[in-house]
Structure 1
Amino acid sequence: MARERALAEDYTRRMTGPITLMTVGSRGDVQPFVALALELLRRGYGVRLAAPAEARPLVEELGVPFFPLEAHYTDLAQSERGQAAIAGHWREVASLLAEVREQTRALLDSAQRAAQGSRALVFHPKALAGRHLAEALGVPAWLMLPAPLLLPTREFAAPATVAEAGPLNPLTYLPLRLAEGPLRSVVGAWRQELGLTDRTYRLDPRYAGGRLLPILHAYSRQLVPVPRDWHWSAGAPVTGFWRLPGSAEPELSAELQRFLEAGPAPVVFGFGSMGPGESPQGLVSLAHSVLRRLEEGVGQAGRKWRGVVLGVPGHLSTEQVFAAPAAPHGRLFARACASVHHGGAGTVAAAVHAGLPSVAVPHGMDQPFWARQLERLDVGRSVPRRQLSAAALAQALSAVMALPTVQRAHTLGTLLELECGVEVAADRIQFALSR
């Protein structure tokens, strides 16, 4: 009788519990999950979004149930040591490891609390607990990938790899699939507390125990065509970007609205959570220098150049450059003429959807990969971080503002508007849960 009761309770949980979405990182890592949550809510599912505490206003403002995760990796990445580690200084990587392990345990514990009673899980690879909780709970789960990070292909190197490796490209995916290795002792101890054995613990993030998890690639095939050697990609579809509906985007501030209406479309400068090492005043000064060089450049005579700098205090604004701590990319990019950014997946998605030509200043991780895609499609240029200067940015902006590049960017944006990435992802989840 007890067994039957337990089975009935398990069935009820599976049918009525929420779909828990888990993500860690900056706004670019959170916002796609908010878009998926809204679509699942629209279809009548219970949803819970677990993300770092600083994401609470974004999530709850749109009516999505929120659960805070103990995750402070973004703070580490923005620190001086973190920036050095991202730049490839291995001594800094080693010194950060102990702190990362401590934070990882806090993340795992809070993720466990977030997943209680879940019907299904959808998780970002940075949310390390996702696949282990799927194994412990025995529920359906999907791994969301913002870039083609895990499935080997001969056509391009892994996005976290700086250079192409030709016939050795498939080998570049191995480090990413083993990236959890330095944290294995922490994760292994936590797994034992969940009642899971290390015997079934594979480092490959595609696995939950012996189960190969389906993948949802949350980017557009217009930017990254499906590799021809992904013969079994039906289990890992490229859905299109997961974007918030336009009505869900916050309004621009009244001050920014007035600035935009007072002159020609500006260049938007914003480096997200990966600032280029400049002070806020330094970023505004950099924007001024770039705009001045554009005004002095050949063929630019008579054009008035203006800028918006994101991620800096508003009191730094001038007549030519508007400074703002943040602004909704969807609404702002629709009013801009070009974007200078760090090449993060979320910002790239917003820029190409708006039909904007871009200049990327990649810092690390998958950002060089997205910068290469913009250059491959000839809708953007890339400036290496170590070569960042007003002269280099002005030269790159001048190139992307040429009419053929502007037209290609506009055409790409039109094609992307035909995609419904978040609906495709929700269809996959709904079909699996209805079986």
Structure 2
Amino acid sequence: MTNDATTPPRPRSGVSRLPGLEGRIPRPRRTAVVLSTMGSLGDLYPVLSIARHLDQSGIEVRLALSPDDCDMARRWGLLATPVGPSEAEICDRLGVTRDQIAREVLRDPGPLIRDVLIPMLPALTEELAPLTHGAAVVAATAFALHAPLAAERAGLPYVPLILQPMMLFSALDPPRSRRFGATVPAPANPLTRAWNRAWIGTARAVLRARHAADLTRVRAGFDLPPQPGTPLLDHGATVPLRLGLWSDRFAPAPADRPADFEVVGFPAAPDGDLPQPVIDWLDAGPAPLAVTLGSVAQRLGGERFWAEAVALARRMGLRAVLLRGEAEVPQGPDILSLHYAPHAPLFPRAAAVLHHGGIGSTAEALRAGRPQLVVPVGGDQPDNAARLERMGVAVSIDAKRFRADRAAARLTDLLGRFDYGAAATLGEAIAGRNGASIAALHLARLALQSRPRPLAVVS
């Protein structure tokens, strides 16, 4: 059965007031929060969710997004200002495909930052500048490098929205990826902690060597001092707060975290209804294996990945729901092939979830309380997979080694020892703390405490 519906899920209705701010929101609006992001839907959805909570609570939200993401914002009932080129324009300029860009970002984003993002920064920062007039605070995700620049130029505080635990670069809880492979996962003595600090220091030095000089040249064009600290991690703008948008059940804040850092929880996923034909298919048989590679990696595994995923399901006597995007996938009466489906209503109906380890899919699988088989492709995915394994809710296999027979053995082992009651309790605890609403509360308080920059007067 194939369903090509592309309608995204409806966002949650949210709350009409942020807790702790009743009666304090000025009307008419006198403050504004500027929000920006660059990346996949895993980057975009948390920002849109925060924006809706701010908007519904009376704080003016100024979204600065790519033209493609502005379309999604409109579907959420939000207005957004397009900043920068569209994805198609970037592909045309570089002479590459969307899949090639996704592959490079997941393997090593450094060249793309150097060759695409940094050269675009002067124009992106200028485009964002008008949105800072009359604003009180700017917040953005890691790759939106124009946001802290615009905040610094406007003299506004900047709040980093940190989506992945590995971006803390903690020596006490180091990232689990190829570039950090020599670190000790749980350093228990001064020697291993010192070893990890040396590795983390080296990783920071690599980022500085790669990007600091280029960023310093961009900053000089705005009469700003040289790039401070480590690119992507440190900013010239005043940073009163850093927000970790994940659950502390997934990754507690390490002891060596920045003093201004707080874990607020996973943002609640957008609501969405499964189409009736999908519900009918699910009702007609046993719980399936739900398979997704997120919004950018559907075709990176090639036809082999999807063929092996189907072979895995059949080997285990399961049907399969394939969230394939634009990828070509096997067909059959035991397969439901979908361009897209909201994870929140689908995952709880799955026997297990096979996913890539993206932070959004990770959050939804945890909320659903289902066993997980993680096939990380790159980026933060190996680190997320390692954390899920340590929690006892998942097993993982590197994407290059993913085969149906190997995966079946790993998944069978997990199913045999999986504690469904504990997983359900964990899912309820994670679902009970909406990181987007808490992040919005922090941003609203900062906005109300700050003095907005006056609007520029043009004579």
TM-score band by shorter chain is: 0.7 to 0.9
Shift of 1:54: 2.4
Q: Distance in 2 between matches of 1:306 and 1:337?
A: 10
For the pair 1:344 / 2:358, whether they are aligned, the reply is yes
| Amino acid across the alignment from 1:242 | P
| Amino acid across the alignment from 1:385 | A
**Structure 2 counterpart of 1:143, from 145, 154, 160:** 160
Q: Alignment RMSD, CA only?
A: 3.2
For the pair 1:366 / 2:380, whether they are aligned, the reply is yes
Question: Do the aligned partners of 2:290 and 2:350 also contact (CA within 8 Å) in 1?
Answer: yes
For the pair 1:271 / 2:293, whether they are aligned, the reply is yes
| Amino acid across the alignment from 2:420 | V
Shift of 1:191: 3.1
Q: Name 1:124's counterpart in structure 2.
A: 141
Q: Distance in 2 between matches of 1:154 and 1:146?
A: 18
Q: Name 2:280's counterpart in structure 1.
A: 258
CA separation of 1:182 and 1:107: change in aligned 2, threshold 3 A: farther
CA separation of 1:371 and 1:139: change in aligned 2, threshold 3 A: same
Q: Distance in 2 between matches of 1:258 and 1:186?
A: 55
Shift of 1:329: 1.4
Shift of 1:214: 1.7
Shift of 1:405: 3.9
Shift of 1:270: 0.9
Q: Trace 1:185-224 onto structure 2 (pairs within 5 A).
A: 186-194=214-222, 196-199=223-226, 201-209=228-236, 211-224=238-251
- Bigger relative CO (Cα 8 Å, ≥ 6 apart): 2
Q: Name 2:315's counterpart in structure 1.
A: 293
Q: Distance in 2 between matches of 1:434 and 1:94?
A: 39
Shift of 1:350: 1.0
CA separation of 1:46 and 1:407: change in aligned 2, threshold 3 A: same
| Amino acid across the alignment from 1:170 | R
For the pair 1:306 / 2:320, whether they are aligned, the reply is yes
CA separation of 1:81 and 1:24: change in aligned 2, threshold 3 A: closer
| Amino acid across the alignment from 2:276 | A
Shift of 1:313: 5.9
| TM, length-normalised to structure 1 | 0.81
What number of residue pairs does the alignment pair up?
A: 404
| Amino acid across the alignment from 2:99 | S
Q: Name 1:48's counterpart in structure 2.
A: 62
| Amino acid across the alignment from 2:308 | L
Structure 2, unaligned runs of 5 or more:
1-25, 185-192, 450-459
Shift of 1:207: 4.3
Q: Trace 1:319-398 onto structure 2 (pairs within 5 A).
A: 319-398=333-412
Counting aligned pairs with the same residue, the percent is 22
Q: Distance in 2 between matches of 1:110 and 1:227?
A: 37
CA separation of 1:307 and 1:82: change in aligned 2, threshold 3 A: closer
Q: Distance in 1 between matches of 2:164 and 2:112?
A: 28
Moved more, 162-171 or 384-393: 162-171
Q: Distance in 2 between matches of 1:153 and 1:186?
A: 26
Question: Do the aligned partners of 2:298 and 2:324 also contact (CA within 8 Å) in 1?
Answer: no
Question: Do the aligned partners of 2:107 and 2:379 also contact (CA within 8 Å) in 1?
Answer: no
Q: Trace 1:94-105 onto structure 2 (pairs within 5 A).
A: 97-104=114-121
Q: Name 1:163's counterpart in structure 2.
A: 181
Q: Name 1:182's counterpart in structure 2.
A: 210
**Structure 1 counterpart of 2:75, from 61, 66, 74:** 61
CA separation of 1:81 and 1:131: change in aligned 2, threshold 3 A: closer
Q: Name 2:265's counterpart in structure 1.
A: 240
Shift of 1:33: 0.8
Q: Distance in 2 between matches of 1:391 and 1:360?
A: 15
Structure 1, unaligned runs of 5 or more:
1-11, 296-303
| TM, length-normalised to structure 2 | 0.77
**Structure 2 counterpart of 1:400, from 410, 414, 421:** 414
Q: Distance in 2 between matches of 1:77 and 1:313?
A: 14
Q: Distance in 2 between matches of 1:114 and 1:391?
A: 54
| Amino acid across the alignment from 1:165 | T
Structure 2 counterpart SS, 1:79 = helix
Q: Name 2:448's counterpart in structure 1.
A: 434
Q: Name 1:79's counterpart in structure 2.
A: 99
Structure 2 counterpart SS, 1:263 = coil
Q: Name 2:456's counterpart in structure 1.
A: none
